[in-house]
């Protein structure tokens, strides 16, 4: 057997700590601002929405933060460490001298990287005596992961699902409900904000910004209810770093050094989790990694947006974050990569891009689906449309290697499978995108 076809770690190699990029990023991060006073947020202001432990992580500058044993056990039970594969048939099809590897985050029960943080967030909320969680979901992966984690730690989960996805992906609702979650199409008539949007824009496709406002509104009104966010915030980036730490060990096992690291970006969490441990080496050991974040050209926050303070939601209820943004009123066109349709970008990812440690590119959905078809035909995996953005970039890089006769090692993060996103594939196959 070829030794690098599937690189698997032992269960006890599952990371024991989260890695915090805020400890190593040279220029200090900009603090979140209170929406009313525009002064830096007092961490205790956030206690209506989040448990204290997560707020501590949000503002932490500690390099390593221990993963609680119960969380680590739950991560192991859902399949960590996840395998790293060599995409040898894709290499052959592209006739490239490059070596291509991908980290597969789609093999757990939820099918994406999202449970890495959902489990941690549900755990810390449960520890603090919280009984209900509210959240938003775009394509449905986050709502699925949080419903799953809620079931593990006995929390009731209420999910506001962006209307366009609610309609495109009806079975997503069924999975969430099977885990005990309650799902509403957003904007909904359950909240003041939802009702106000519905009265002004009855035909809106919805947006993550609107759904976040609805979830935050309900959490702020009840003591036993907290809010959980699936991306963007520092503590979410932190929880996802189990991905990159595993990849580092896996590459070491086969004595491989990466040249190019690629991930797609919606709010930035799978990219952060995959790339931040490598970014640490880029900053401290001056490693020459090319780190690329890929976004859809329909929601180009880092390639076309501004780097400034903006709200995380549409209603302006959340603190202001310093990030790349298209403006909190931006409603992206109904693109199939629902998980990438967010107006902003994680402050840590924004800062890494702004400081030149990572670069970003944007692609159209048609070229992305085309790349994904080649990946399915060669590697046998139907990727999530979000992850397909990383595949497209990887293929472009591998083709560049063929032209330049360079044998680079390219590693990308396959953030999830696309078996719940077949509507998009169907429309692509019919030429209707």
Ligand X SMILES: *Cc1c(COP(=O)(O)O)cnc(C)c1O
Structure tokens at 50: 């989040």
Asked if 267 touches ligand X (CB under 6 A), the answer is yes
* Binding characters for ligand X, 400-419, by CB under 6 A (x = yes): ---------------xx---
d(CA 336, CA 390): 15
Specify the residue, 401 or 420, whose C-beta has the smaller distance to ligand X.
420
Contact window for ligand X (CB under 6 A) among 27-35, 49-57, 217-225, 381-389: 381-389
Reported as half-sphere exposure (CB side, CA atoms, 13 A), residue 161 has a value of 31
The footprint of ligand X on residues 327-356 (CB under 6 A) is: 339-340
The footprint of ligand X on residues 103-122 (CB under 6 A) is: 112, 114
d(CA 70, CA 53): 15
Residue 176: its H or E element: helix 170-178
Torsion of CA 422, 427, 429, 433, to 10 degrees: -130
d(CA 383, CA 415): 8
d(CA 142, CA 113): 9
* Binding characters for ligand X, 64-103, by CB under 6 A (x = yes): ----------------------------------------
Q: Select the residue interacting with ligand X from 269, 275, 302, 372 (CB under 6 A).
A: 269
Residue among 267, 243, 284, 218 nearest 81 (CA): 243
Q: How far is the CB of 269 from ligand X (least distance, A)?
A: 3
Instruction: Identify the DSSP state of 383.
Output: B
Specify the residue, 217 or 386, whose C-beta has the smaller distance to ligand X.
386
Q: Select the residue interacting with ligand X from 67, 100, 362, 384 (CB under 6 A).
A: 384
Specify the residue, 231 or 280, whose C-beta has the smaller distance to ligand X.
231
Sign of CA dihedral 416, 417, 418, 419: negative
Specify the residue, 41 or 346, whose C-beta has the smaller distance to ligand X.
346
SS3 309: strand
* Inter-residue contact 49 to 136 (CB < 8 Å): no
Q: Select the residue interacting with ligand X from 158, 228, 264, 317 (CB under 6 A).
A: 264
* Inter-residue contact 289 to 262 (CB < 8 Å): no
* Inter-residue contact 158 to 135 (CB < 8 Å): yes
Q: How far is the CB of 265 from ligand X (least distance, A)?
A: 5
Question: How many residues sit in the footprint of ligand X (CB under 6 A)?
Answer: 20
d(CA 394, CA 374): 12
Tell me the helix, strand and coil percentages in the chain, rounded to 5: 45, 20, 40
Q: How far is the CB of 37 from ligand X (least distance, A)?
A: 29
Using a 10 angstrom Cβ sphere, with 0-12 exposed, 13-18 middle and 19 or more buried, the burial of residue 95 is exposed
* Binding characters for ligand X, 139-158, by CB under 6 A (x = yes): --xx----------------
Contact window for ligand X (CB under 6 A) among 51-59, 173-181, 315-323, 382-390: 382-390
Specify the residue, 258 or 267, whose C-beta has the smaller distance to ligand X.
267
Asked if 265 touches ligand X (CB under 6 A), the answer is yes
Asked if 266 touches ligand X (CB under 6 A), the answer is yes
Contact window for ligand X (CB under 6 A) among 42-50, 148-156, 179-187, 261-269: 261-269
Contact window for ligand X (CB under 6 A) among 28-36, 165-173, 266-274, 357-365: 266-274
Specify the residue, 242 or 401, whose C-beta has the smaller distance to ligand X.
242
Specify the residue, 130 or 391, whose C-beta has the smaller distance to ligand X.
391
Residues lying near ligand X in the complex (CB under 6 A) are found at: 112, 114, 141-142, 231, 264-271, 339-340, 384, 386-387, 415-416
């Amino acid at each position: 057997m070829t030794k690098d076809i599937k690189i698997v770690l032992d269960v006890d190699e599952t990371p024991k700590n989260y890695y915090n990029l805020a400890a190593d990023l040279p220029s200090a991060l900009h603090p979140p601002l209170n929406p009313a006073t525009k002064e830096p947020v007092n961490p205790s202001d956030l206690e209506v929405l989040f448990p204290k432990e997560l707020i501590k992580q949000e503002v932490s500058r500690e390099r390593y933060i221990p993963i609680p044993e119960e969380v680590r056990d739950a991560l192991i039970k859902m399949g960590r460490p996840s395998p790293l594969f060599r995409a040898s048939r894709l290499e052959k099809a592209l006739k490239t001298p490059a070596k291509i590897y991908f980290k597969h985050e789609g093999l757990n029960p939820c099918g994406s990287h999202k449970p890495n943080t959902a489990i941690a967030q549900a755990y810390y909320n449960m520890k603090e005596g919280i009984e209900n969680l509210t959240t938003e979901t775009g394509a449905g992966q986050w709502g699925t992961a949080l419903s799953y984690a809620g079931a593990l730690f006995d929390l009731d989960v209420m999910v506001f699902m962006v209307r366009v996805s609610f309609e495109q992906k009806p079975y997503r609702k069924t999975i969430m409900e099977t885990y005990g979650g309650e799902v509403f199409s957003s904007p909904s008539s359950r909240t003041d904000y939802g009702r106000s949007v519905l009265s002004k824009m009855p035909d809106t496709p919805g947006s993550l910004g609107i759904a976040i406002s609805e979830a935050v509104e309900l959490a702020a009104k009840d003591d036993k209810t907290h809010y959980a966010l699936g991306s963007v915030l520092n503590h979410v980036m932190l929880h996802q770093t189990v991905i990159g730490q595993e990849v580092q060990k896996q590459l070491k096992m086969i004595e491989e050094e990466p040249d190019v690291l690629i991930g797609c970006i919606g709010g930035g969490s799978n990219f952060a989790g995959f790339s931040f441990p490598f970014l640490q080496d880029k900053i401290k050991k001056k490693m020459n990694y090319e780190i690329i974040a890929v976004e859809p050209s329909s929601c180009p926050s880092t390639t076309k947006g501004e780097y400034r303070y903006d709200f995380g939601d549409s209603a302006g209820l959340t603190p202001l974050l310093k990030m790349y943004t298209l403006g909190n009123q931006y409603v992206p066109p109904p693109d199939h990569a629902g998980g990438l349709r967010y107006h902003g970008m994680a402050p840590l990812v924004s800062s890494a891009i702004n400081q030149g440690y990572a670069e970003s590119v944007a692609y159209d959905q048609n070229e992305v689906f085309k790349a994904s078809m080649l990946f399915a035909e060669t590697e046998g995996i139907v990727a999530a449309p979000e992850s397909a953005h990383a595949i497209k970039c990887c293929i472009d890089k591998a083709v560049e290697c063929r032209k330049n006769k360079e044998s680079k090692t390219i590693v990308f993060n396959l953030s999830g499978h696309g078996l719940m996103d077949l509507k998009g594939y169907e429309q692509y196959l019919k030429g209707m995108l």
